[in-house]
Every structure is written in C-alpha cells, then in structure tokens.
Amino acid sequence: MGNTRYVFDPRPEVADWIDDNIESWTVFCYDSIYRVQKKQYVNNVNRLANIMAFCLIGMIILCLTLLPGIIMLMYIVFMVTGICFIIMGFLVFTLELRSNRHGRRK
C-alpha cells in the first residue's frame, strides 16, 4: 500500500484553476509552507518583543524616580508603576516560555 498521507484530491473547479494558474503544485506547496512558517516566526518575535517592551517601559518609569525635586506622591506613583510593569513583563515572559516549552502555542 502506498503512502497516502499527503494526497490532495481537489474538486473539479479547483483543479481547473490549479491547472490554469500554477506551474508546479509542489513548488506552490513549498512556497506556501515557507510563507506560513515565516509569518509564524515573525509573529513569535513580535510577541516576545512586546513582552520585553513592558519591562523596558517599567525601567524607564523607575528612572523617573531619580529626578531631583520630585514630589513624594509622584515618587511613589512612579515607583509602584515601574515595579508593576517590570513584574508583569517578567511574569508574562515566563508564562510565554512555559507555554512554548509544553507546545501549547498554536
């Protein structure tokens, strides 16, 4: 018995379109797979960059506490906000790594 794992049996109207518009079905499939994989990679990098941006924003806000002559209330607000951003960034980052390690990310 042959390997029928990747057999594609198109409907007649789809088969006609494929015959008219695509030179090589194999090349088309490989190109499509490459585009999907590249898009998935870019989406993963963007997701991780956004998570790291939370930590960076928190660090910038924490740097604002070093301004001379800052009001005590503003100092507390900057400190709490910066720490919250950093903790949230690291928490989301660790959860993202954990979900990727167990293969839950689609």
* Helical pair 25-63 and 72-101, crossing angle rounded to 10 deg: 150
Q: Is the pLDDT confidence value at 7 over 70?
A: yes
In-domain check, residue 91: yes
- Across 1-5, 8-12, 74-78, which has the greatest mean pLDDT? 74-78
Amino acid at 4: T
Q: Is residue 66 part of a domain?
A: yes
**What pLDDT, in 10s, does the model give residues 95-105?**
888 887 766 55
Range of the domain at 83: 12-101
| pLDDT value at 74 more than 80 | yes
pLDDT at 104: 55
Distance CA 32, CA 45 (A): 20
Q: Is residue 5 part of a domain?
A: no
Cβ count within 10 A of residue 31 = 11
Does the residue 7 lie in any domain?
no
**72 in any annotated domain:** yes
Q: What is the pLDDT of residues 44-56, one digit of tens each?
A: 899 889 999 999 9
56 contacts: CB under 8 Å, gap ≥ 6 = 89
**3 located within any domain:** no
Domains: count for the chain: 1
Q: DSSP secondary-structure letter at 64? A: G
Specify if 68 maps to a domain.
yes
Full-model pTM = 0.66
Task: Decide if 16 is inside a domain.
Answer: yes
- Mean pLDDT of the region 68-90: 93
CB atoms within 10 A of CB 78: 19
